[in-house]
Amino acid sequence: MSEAYAAPDPKELRDHQVDGPELTTRLARTWGTKRGLIGALSTVDHKIIGRRYIVTAFLFLFLGGLAAAAMRLQLARPESRLIGPDLYNQLFTMHGTTMMFLFAVPVMEAFAVYLVPLMLGTRNIAFPRLNAFSYYVYVFGGLMIWVAFMLNIGADVGWFAYVPLSGPEFSPGKRADIWAQMITFTEVSALAVAVEIVVTVPKQRAPGMTLDRIPLFVWSVFVTSFLIIFAMPAVMLASTFLILDRLIGTHIFNPAEGGDALLWQHLFWFFGHPEVYIIFLPATGMVSAIITTFSRRKTFGYLALVLSLIATGFLSFGLWVHHMFTTGLPQLGASFFTASSMMIAIPNGIQIFCWIATLWDGRPVFRTPLLFVLGFFFIFVAGGLSGIMLASVPLDTQVHDTYFVVAHFHYVLIGGAVFPLLGAVYYWYPKIVGRLMDERIGRWHFWLAFVGFNLAFFPMHITGLMGMPRRVYTYQHEMGWDNLNLLSSVGALVFFLSFVVFLWNVITSARKGAVAGDNPWQAGTLEWATSSPPPPQNFDRIPVVTNREPLWAERETLSVAAGLSVDNRELIVSTVSEARADLRESSPEPSVWPFIAAVATGITFIGSIFTPWAAVWGSLIVGVTLIAWFWPKGAKEDEK
Ligand code: HEM
Ligand SMILES: [Cu+2]
């Protein structure tokens, strides 16, 4: 954008020329968000967008949880007639799709959008308008699939939508079309956020934040963003092929016409396996942050942790075939993927070792965030063990598509991601809201969640070994699975109850919690160097970093960089490895066009479910909104 290159006005006010409250109010005016609906829709503040993102993702968790509750209610008794097979198919599809596409990935990106600029000591994320756009796209995509479900045209082909079942022959009607377009659509949003992070992390770090001083949470979302950039296009390609097969009669997945049904599975799992790590890696970043702060000690093995993140990222792409062991692949290939599936246990093991060493060596303070991390250890290790069992072809062949698998991946997903995430909410809530969450209710929440979770999912290992297949809406009394299923359902109920307690804590603490102050946990990283909640400009002056935990090293005397404009949105662009301040660049102003562009994109995608021409006309409209979005407002200044 041209305004970025406008020559600085020598008369303009810089931040070393004003001080104290005047500096704060002037910067807040420059970076603030306008009041009213238009202001809310055009904001580009990463904190406002991040907060919305987090809340929206938790709303989708609630919807996905409702679907799970309905399933568990149905499965509580044998031969139950509560829910028929058709609705059950929709329920597990909605549950899986919502949890994976609308909750787990977005919530991690949401935390990144909120935290990364604060942790890096900068004033906004790179491409703030794209950030706004991606949030709206995410909301519209999620709404689209849930509205379809309410209208009884919900997807019913599973979150993996295997062809030919999801193809035109076996899934007539609009259900699979809606699913396919929603996937492509929401992944646009995931990709956009990944791109923002991949640029923000190397280029916008506070002066002095060299590569080995980047907080581990930032490293984790940085690596994750690359996984998103490489993995998501595979599933977008797959869903686009699917809609082409369904809508305009191509035969990409149709073997009878020279297509290939297995291609779907390869594309889907090339995305689907890294997906697990897209969810899990940011969670490890959260774990590292919490462990370091609450054991009051520098993270043990920082370099080993960073390298494990990167190694996990690479390895996760070599594993997709273990989801396809029963499709009759060549023997040698299967052996290779077995070996690499087991190999991924190595970096995971290293991470766990470093965390335990940090705790061991420190003086751990057992507050709620740390409790959730300990719960994570326990559940995740159990999930890892059943995973190693599944990585072997003979066992996988036995328990393939049974509840053993359901048990395994809930251990990994909930233990590996949801527990750290809940810890992260307790940990960063005071920064975001300005008040602490209640500790006593937090403990209740943790124990209900921990007990409920294990009660719900541990018995599924056994029902699975006893042969209960997944994705069945009922079973017969003669099979002998009654008691275990009832136990699972009761456990699920307790688990849900824990979320009610959680919600209660979140809501009441916003008004009645203890006022947090800047740094209630005495943490070491930069997000705690500003007030809680942070002002629109994040920092009055950009900190200069000489240490991995700057707030531990020089508590009161953090030095600062000076020279940024007070009345224009300027931020520091730094060099990639040494993070030397390189140049000043202006960050885009608020604009309502990303919102309008998202609406136009949404209409295009919905239209294309009904006619391929919508893609053509829609693109034209989207093009117009993009022109308005990028229209150079700074042209006037250039002329000066
Ligand atoms: C709130 C507690 C949860 C309960 C009680 C629950 C329960 C279930 C059940 C019973 C199924 C099996 C459906 C079937 O095969 O018939 C299932 C499938 C699944 N769950 Fe969950 N779940 C929960 C949370 C989650 C979370 C947090 C995630 C992801 C982050 C998740 C991801 C999935 C996936 C991907 C499937 C596979 C869906 C499919 O086969 O299409 N679940 N869940
Ligand atoms: Cu996998």
Tens digit of pLDDT for each residue in 583-592?
888 899 999 9
pLDDT above 50 for 636: no
- 219 and 304 in contact (C-beta within 8 Å)? no
Q: Among the atoms of ligand 1, which is closest to the Cα of residue 279?
A: 30
- Whole-number Å distance, alpha carbon 272 to ligand 2 midpoint, is 7
Residues 6+ apart with CB under 8 A from 288: 216, 217, 220, 299, 305, 355
pLDDT of 439 reads 97
Closest Cα partner for 320 from 272, 385, 384?
A: 272
Closest Cα partner for 579 from 532, 526, 537, 531?
A: 526
The token pair at 264 is 């779907």
| Higher pLDDT among residues 342 and 348, named by residue | 348
Q: Round the average pLDDT of the chain to a whole number and report it.
A: 92
Peptide linkage before 8 cis (omega within 30 of 0) = no
Q: Which of 80, 279, 406 to mutate to test the pocket of ligand 1 (most atoms within 8 A of CB)?
A: 406
CA distance 433 to 368: 17
Task: Identify the domain containing residue 253 by its residue range.
Answer: 43-586+597-630
- Whole-number Å distance, alpha carbon 305 to ligand 2 midpoint, is 22
Size of the chain in residues: 640
Closest Cα partner for 196 from 225, 169, 159, 158?
A: 225
Mind listing the pLDDT tens digit for each residue in 429-448? 999 999 999 999 999 999 99
- Whole-number Å distance, alpha carbon 497 to ligand 1 midpoint, is 17
Tokens 């390189």, located at residue? 582
What pTM does this model have? 0.94
The token pair at 201 is 């992390």
Q: Is residue 36 part of a domain?
A: no
**CB of residue 158 inside a 6 A radius of ligand 1:** yes
Closest Cα partner for 279 from 419, 402, 379, 389?
A: 419
pLDDT of 113 reads 98
pLDDT of 561 reads 76
Q: How far is CA 162 from the centre of its chain?
A: 24
Q: Which of 61, 99, 159 to mutate to test the pocket of ligand 1 (most atoms within 8 A of CB)?
A: 99
**CB of residue 71 inside a 6 A radius of ligand 1:** yes
Q: Is residue 4 part of a domain?
A: no
Mind listing the pLDDT tens digit for each residue in 446-490? 999 999 999 999 999 999 999 999 999 999 999 999 999 999 999
The token pair at 192 is 């956009």
Task: Give the closest residue (by CA) to ligand 1 atom 32.
Answer: 96
pLDDT of 149 reads 94
pLDDT of 104 reads 96
Q: Is residue 19 part of a domain?
A: no
**CB of residue 380 inside a 6 A radius of ligand 1:** no
CA distances from 373 to 80, 286, 424, 612 (A): 38, 9, 9, 48
Q: How confident is the model at residue 3 (pLDDT cuts 50, 70, 90)?
A: very low
Q: Exposure of 640 by Cβ count < 10 A (0-12 exposed, 13-18 middle, 19+ buried)? A: exposed
pLDDT of 385 reads 87
Q: How far is CA 624 from the centre of its chain?
A: 30
Task: Please state the rounded mean pLDDT for residues 384-404.
Answer: 85
Q: Is residue 18 part of a domain?
A: no
**CB of residue 410 inside a 6 A radius of ligand 1:** yes
pLDDT above 50 for 639: no
Angle between helix axes 216-247 and 302-316 (nearest 10 degrees) is 10
Q: Is residue 229 part of a domain?
A: yes
Q: Among the atoms of ligand 1, which is closest to the Cα of residue 456?
A: 5
Task: Please state the rounded mean pLDDT for residues 129-143.
Answer: 96
- 356 and 381 in contact (C-beta within 8 Å)? no
Q: Which of 325-329, 400-404, 540-544 comes out lowest in average pLDDT?
A: 325-329
The token pair at 407 is 């048990």
- Whole-number Å distance, alpha carbon 96 to ligand 1 midpoint, is 6
H/E stretch holding 396: helix 393-399
Task: Give the closest residue (by CA) to ligand 1 atom 14.
Answer: 471
Mind listing the pLDDT tens digit for each residue in 68-80? 999 999 999 999 9
Share of the chain above pLDDT 70, in %: 97
pLDDT above 90 for 554: no
pLDDT above 70 for 4: no
- Least distant ligand from the CA of 459: 1
Residue 586: strand pairing partners:
570
Looking up residue 358, the CATH number of its domain turns out to be 1.20.210.10
Residues 6+ apart with CB under 8 A from 143: none
Q: Is residue 3 part of a domain?
A: no
- Whole-number Å distance, alpha carbon 99 to ligand 1 midpoint, is 8
Q: Which long-range contacts (CB under 8 A, 24 or more apart) does 450-453 make?
A: 450/375, 450/378, 450/379, 451/491, 451/494, 452/491, 452/492, 452/493, 452/494, 452/495, 452/496, 452/497, 452/498, 453/379, 453/414, 453/415, 453/491, 453/495
Q: Is residue 333 part of a domain?
A: yes
CA angle 609, 612, 614 (to 5 degrees): 80
Q: Could you give phi then psi for residue 418, rounded to 5 degrees?
A: -70, -40
- 434 and 533 in contact (C-beta within 8 Å)? yes
Mind listing the pLDDT tens digit for each residue in 343-373? 888 999 999 999 999 999 999 999 999 999 9
- 584 and 570 in contact (C-beta within 8 Å)? yes
Domains held by the chain: number: 1
Q: Could you give phi then psi for residue 327, rounded to 5 degrees?
A: -90, 5
**CB of residue 382 inside a 6 A radius of ligand 1:** no
Q: Is residue 22 part of a domain?
A: no
Closest Cα partner for 96 from 400, 502, 409, 322?
A: 409
The token pair at 533 is 């909640």
